[in-house]
Amino acid sequence: MISIMVDYIVVGTGLAGIAFTEKLAQQGKTYVVIDSEERSSSLIAGGMYNPVVLKRFTDVWKINEQLTIAEVFYPALEAKLQIKCWYPMDLYRRLASIEEQNNWFQAADRPNLNAFLSPEIEKRRLDGVDLSFGLGKVKSTGYLETDELIPAYRQHLTQLGCYKRERFDYSQLEYQEEGVVYKGIEARYIVFAEGFGLLQNPFFNQLPLDGTKGELMIVKIPGLNCDFMLKAGVFLIPIGEDKYKLGATYNWADKTDKPTKEGEAELIAGLKSFVELDFEIVEHIAGIRPTVKDRRPLLGRSLESDRILVLNGLGTRGVLLAPYLAEQLYNYIENNIALEENISIHRYKKFKLKK
């Protein structure tokens, strides 16, 4: 028995699910969003966005397009929800040697990076931190406070009457040529944006979603007085009242979302490698990032039905990727604009669509 008819069902309220739902709202589409509200990687993420891979000094794929969309998307979402969650903020890379200074100069001179890396090495002072070799400034950076955005967005959906807090039951999904039906909800399409939960999804669980565990701490460091994001192996993000986000670890073997002693030790060692001040651990959290072996997202239709789609695999760069990919998937569905091969799931042999 059909009780609701909408254009879309969206499963997931992480960054991918929120971005796609907002795209639907902008286009006047109707929708129901379903999420169990189990702890997601989006909710525990550091939320930092950065246009350069500083470890290897490479630019990020489609970074200009991503920034252009995100810099409009998130402030508009703040205004809509009446919250503060988008924080443009300078990011500095701590340089620890003459060699690192030279590497910075070389990187800043590259045509694909010079828009984002300042060619000048800056001298700044932080109590308890050795900055004798200076700092390299990265432009167009900041962070998204996901634990402000996600609960506020769920509340917004609840007030609209289009949110169901429940674990999605795949056995209850019926599909036909014209659309899908789930527990009395009829929709033209369903989009799964479940993050690491994709591995339980029978329509897409053969995709190579690997998952990388990340651990993050909130630490209190009185006297540091740092008002910018600092990268020095680990990263520090100032969030006020002498508190900082400290992250992050990468573990490809452990697929649990529980903080570990090993993760704690790694983060503390990273912090002590450049900060000599006393600190207090306020919180220690962990989650599984939806990472893919080839480091590209997962968008496309299931082989069972072209009404069943996926938006996943955002990995460590979901803040900027989510709004951009939501537009790509929407245009793919509604405007028949082909997805680029390197983000389409149909780049994999098992998911090749029939001609």
Do residues 342 and 296 lie in contact, with contact meaning Cβ atoms separated by under 8 Å?
yes
- DSSP class of 354: P
Distances (CA, A) of 335 to 5, 179, 328, 332: 21, 17, 10, 6
Give the model's pLDDT for residue 44.
Answer: 66
Distance between CA 330 and CA 22 in Å, rounded?
Answer: 11
Q: pTM for the complete prediction? A: 0.95
Residue 154's closest CA among 251, 55, 37?
Answer: 37
Q: Which residue has the tokens 């001179």?
A: 109
Give the model's pLDDT for residue 350.
Answer: 79
Give the model's pLDDT for residue 201.
Answer: 97
Q: Which residue has the tokens 């286009």?
A: 27
Do residues 306 and 254 lie in contact, with contact meaning Cβ atoms separated by under 8 Å?
no
Please report, as a single letter, which amino acid is at residue 225. N
Distance between CA 327 and CA 121 in Å, rounded?
Answer: 37
Question: CA triplet 316, 243, 118: central angle to 5 degrees?
Answer: 55
Give the model's pLDDT for residue 65.
Answer: 97
Q: What are the structure tokens assigned to 336, written together?
A: 């028949």
Q: Crossing angle, helix 15-26 and helix 318-334, to 10 degrees?
A: 40
Do residues 231 and 248 lie in contact, with contact meaning Cβ atoms separated by under 8 Å?
no
For the chain, 355 residues long, give each residue's pLDDT as a single digit of tens.
668 999 999 999 999 999 999 999 999 999 999 999 876 666 667 899 999 999 889 989 999 999 999 999 999 999 999 999 999 999 999 999 999 999 999 999 999 999 999 999 999 999 999 999 999 999 999 999 999 999 999 999 999 999 999 999 999 999 999 999 999 999 999 999 999 999 999 999 999 998 899 999 999 999 999 999 999 999 999 999 999 999 999 998 998 889 999 999 999 999 999 999 999 999 999 989 989 988 899 999 999 999 999 999 998 899 999 999 999 999 999 999 999 999 999 999 878 765 4
Do residues 184 and 54 lie in contact, with contact meaning Cβ atoms separated by under 8 Å?
no
* CB-based contacts of 191, cutoff 8 Å, min separation 6: 8, 9, 10, 11, 17, 20, 309, 310, 311, 329
**Boundaries of every domain in the chain:** 4-45+147-207+294-351, 88-141+211-289
How far out from the chain centre does Cα 120 lie? Answer: 30
Q: What are the structure tokens assigned to 152, written together?
A: 């506020």
The CATH code for residues 4-45+147-207+294-351 is 3.50.50.60
Question: CA triplet 67, 324, 203: central angle to 5 degrees?
Answer: 150
Distance between CA 70 and CA 50 in Å, rounded?
Answer: 12
Give the model's pLDDT for residue 41.
Answer: 64
Looking at the DSSP assignment, which residues form a beta bridge with residue 58? 53
Radius of gyration of the chain (CA): 21
For domain 88-141+211-289, is the CATH number 3.30.9.10?
Answer: yes
Please report, as a single letter, which amino acid is at residue 52. V
Distances (CA, A) of 95 to 103, 130, 207, 238, 245: 10, 10, 39, 19, 20
